[in-house]
Amino acid sequence: EVQLVESGGGLVQPGGSLRLSCAASGFTFSSYWMSWVRQAPGKGLEWVANIKQDGSEKYYVDSVKGRFTISRDNAKNSLYLQMNSLRAEDTAVYYCARGGWLRVPYNWFDPWGQGTLVTVSS
């Protein structure tokens, strides 16, 4: 069974940092693009970042560029999101999602993890 399990969420002060992790199982992790998608409380979905199978390509939504870094460790079947200079508007549930198996960044997302809540507040 394909499974994605996020961890690392919590309460952090504005300007602080947090590192999210996503543990993958049930598929060949190194063969797929991976993504982070977030959802602010009561709001819609927002794509955050993508990373290619070998980590050589990364893409970000404009609002997190320069503050967030997506990375992966294929040996550990793990995806990460390093979040720095956090703002109140970054408060959301962060989902890890599997992308496609091709070498191009055109991905639908399936499946998704259960999400981890990040709250940025003083």
Partner 1 sequence: EIVLTQSPGTLSLSPGERATLSCRASQSVSSSYLAWYQQKPGQAPRLLIYGASSRATGIPDRFSGSGSGTDFTLTISRLEPEDFAVYYCQQYGSSLSAFGQGTKVEIK
Residues making contact with partner 1 (CB under 8 A): 35, 37, 44-47, 50, 57, 59, 61, 95, 105-115
DSSP 8-state class, residue 30: G
Cβ-based nearer residue to partner 1, 29 or 95: 95
> Shortest distance, CB of residue 2 to partner 1, whole angstroms?
11
Cβ-based nearer residue to partner 1, 16 or 108: 108
C-alpha dist (Å) from residue 36 to 46, 53, 122:
9, 14, 25
Sheet containing 68-73: order of strands: 3-7, 18-25, 78-83, 68-73
Amino acid (1-letter code) at residue 35: S
Cβ-based nearer residue to partner 1, 27 or 47: 47
> Shortest distance, CB of residue 103 to partner 1, whole angstroms?
12
21's CB contacts (< 8 A; 6+ apart) are: 6, 7, 8, 78, 79, 80
> Shortest distance, CB of residue 95 to partner 1, whole angstroms?
6
> Shortest distance, CB of residue 82 to partner 1, whole angstroms?
20
